[in-house]
Amino acid sequence: MHNKYYCNINIYFFELIIYLLVLTANKLRMNINFSTATFKDFENIPGYDMMDRADIYYDFIEYMKTNGHRYRLQNNTGCSSVMNIGDEEEATKEMVSFVTSDYLGLTQHPKVKQAAIKGIEKFGAGSAATPLIGGYYSYHNELETKIAEFFGRTGDEAVTFTTGYTANSATLQILLQKEDIAILDMAVHASVYEGCILTNRKTFPHNDLAALEHILKTSEDKYRTKLVVIDGVYSQDGDTAPIEEIYKLVKKYNAYLMIDDVHGVGILGKTGRGTIEDTGLLDKIDIITGTFSKTFGNLGGYVIANKNLINFIRFQSRQQIFSATIAPGTAAGIIRAIDLIDEEPHLRFKLWENINYLKKGLDELGLDTGTTCSAVVPVKIGDPHLTLDIGKMLLDRGVYTNPIMYPAVARKNGRIRMSVTATHEIQHLDKTLNAFEDINKKLHIAKK
């Protein structure tokens, strides 16, 4: 009995050792060190087919879990400043949350919820078709009219997509071909990069006007269409683009300008129309894109431009032709949320009170919040794995944030990214500041 028991244990340990040796050999053969690896290292491993890459990546994720770094944490409550986090692998826990971009708290606004319910009651749960073959409803027309009017685009039109990501990628893919060029601020969203796979592409260092002008000048007579693409507010640093200066350069060299202002709309601008509003250029930017999943608290994306360009996108974009349209409840909720930007400006004022309070506290601790001037507040750390460690330490202290590392940012520019909302209370912000203060005492992450 005892001999059989010990024999089974020996077999188990022998198998475990073999597994670890194979795993180590695989890692060495790939020249990937799990302790310093990032997601990017597994995208395309020479000599490894898709199953091999999936197997190795699974091992990497399991390795990260053993070190306390977990991804895709499960939320058990709706978007809010406080959320219940956890699943069968980890006990549930109530956290102060900075991971959603529900900046004005409209996902939980009773008027938005009621509008969504009425939309479902009137039209049902879904659209059940693509827009060209029966999936275009009166609520889609109302939504497209409403978002174009929100930006004061008299005479222009809008087209909607099921996600903000698709609004960018689908639009760029159909507008720019091999004879054209996209000129991108290097910090634009991944959806923009994906949208440029069919065209020529050049990037310029973030907000570098001299570099942008050089590209415009050298590209002026080489391409059919020259489209400069920037963000209004940049998603990782929370800083803004010098829109007026970029607009002047674009027009000087006979190019077009597209601005994605997903993190600015509802937050910046005198009336919440975003970064473009205060420049006086809302009616002059060639293409404005955005999402309904942040300030508007729902799901979907939009593109606003002159009616001929919008008509072209409607009938040529593959994602328009072959994807079902926004659901009735979603559209009704968005329409109500758009009105609330003007009806309840106190939400924006409360948001800015929270942004200023948190940023002031972080700055007083000596932490590096960069050049943010929006609801996106980063604490820059540098080393990606130290960033992950700090993310775990914050979770242990009841603060749920996003550790951001390469390839979302440069390899040595990891940061803890926080999205501040109007629903955060002072006690939530104080708890967060106390957690950072405690971590700083242990790890000395303040600026030297």
Q: For the chain, how many residues are written?
A: 448
> CB of 263 within 8 A of CB of 374?
yes
Location of structure tokens 């197997």: 55
Return the amino acid letter for 378: P
Q: Is the pLDDT of residue 207 over 60?
A: yes
pLDDT per position as a tens digit, 389-427: 999 999 999 999 999 988 788 878 899 999 999 999 999
Question: Residue 3 has what pLDDT?
Answer: 57
DSSP string, 85-153: EEETTEEEEEEEE-----TT-GGG-HHHHHHHHHHHHHH-S---S-GGGT---HHHHHHHHHHHHHTT-
If phi > 0 it is left, if psi is from -120 to 50 it is alpha, else beta; for residue 200 that is beta
Q: Is the pLDDT of residue 131 over 50?
A: yes
pLDDT band per the 50, 70, 90 thresholds, residue 24: low
Which whole number is the average pLDDT over 178-201?
97
Question: Residue 70 has what pLDDT?
Answer: 75
* Contact residues for 5 (Cβ-Cβ < 8 A; gap 6+): none
* Contact residues for 153 (Cβ-Cβ < 8 A; gap 6+): 282, 283, 288, 304
Collapsing DSSP to helix, strand or coil, 67 comes out as coil
Q: Taking the CB of residue 182, how many other CB atoms lie within 10 A of it?
A: 25
pLDDT band per the 50, 70, 90 thresholds, residue 31: low
Q: Is the pLDDT of residue 126 over 60?
A: yes
Instruction: Provide, rounded to the nearest whole percent, the portion of the chain with pLDDT above 90.
Output: 80
pLDDT band per the 50, 70, 90 thresholds, residue 23: low
What is the rounded CA–CA span in Å between residue 241 and residue 373?
A: 11
Location of structure tokens 């473009």: 276
DSSP string, 305-330: EEHHHHHHHHHH-HHHHHSPPPPHHH
- Cα separation values, 334 from 152, 162, 382, 431, Å: 17, 12, 38, 32
Which whole number is the average pLDDT over 428-445?
97
Average pLDDT, the chain: 92
Which whole number is the average pLDDT over 85-96?
82
* pTM, 2 dp: 0.89
What's the burial of 198, exposed, middle or buried (CB within 10 Å: 0-12/13-18/19+)? middle
Give Cα 222 to chain centroid, integer Å: 33
Q: Taking the CB of residue 268, how many other CB atoms lie within 10 A of it?
A: 23
Q: Is the pLDDT of residue 257 over 60?
A: yes
Question: Residue 447 has what pLDDT?
Answer: 83
Q: Which residue has the higher pLDDT, 319 or 41?
A: 319
Collapsing DSSP to helix, strand or coil, 186 comes out as coil
Report phi then psi at 383, rounded to 5: -60, 125
What is the rounded CA–CA span in Å between residue 327 and residue 336?
A: 15
In the DSSP assignment, the letter for residue 233 is B
Which whole number is the average pLDDT over 207-214?
98
Q: Is the pLDDT of residue 29 over 50?
A: no
Q: What radius of gyration, in Å, describes the C-alpha atoms of the chain?
A: 24
Question: Residue 403 has what pLDDT?
Answer: 92
Q: Is the pLDDT of residue 56 over 50?
A: yes
Question: Residue 400 has what pLDDT?
Answer: 96
Question: Residue 341 has what pLDDT?
Answer: 98
What is the rounded CA–CA span in Å between residue 52 and residue 64?
A: 19
pLDDT band per the 50, 70, 90 thresholds, residue 385: confident
Which whole number is the average pLDDT over 11-39?
62
Which whole number is the average pLDDT over 194-211?
97
Q: Is the pLDDT of residue 130 over 70?
A: yes
Give Cα 424 to chain centroid, integer Å: 20
Closest CA to 279 of 325, 240, 252: 240
Report phi then psi at 395, rounded to 5: -60, -45
In the DSSP assignment, the letter for residue 279 is G
pLDDT per position as a tens digit, 135-164: 999 999 999 999 999 999 989 999 999 999
pLDDT per position as a tens digit, 216-247: 999 989 999 999 999 999 999 999 999 999 99
Q: Is the pLDDT of residue 383 over 60?
A: yes
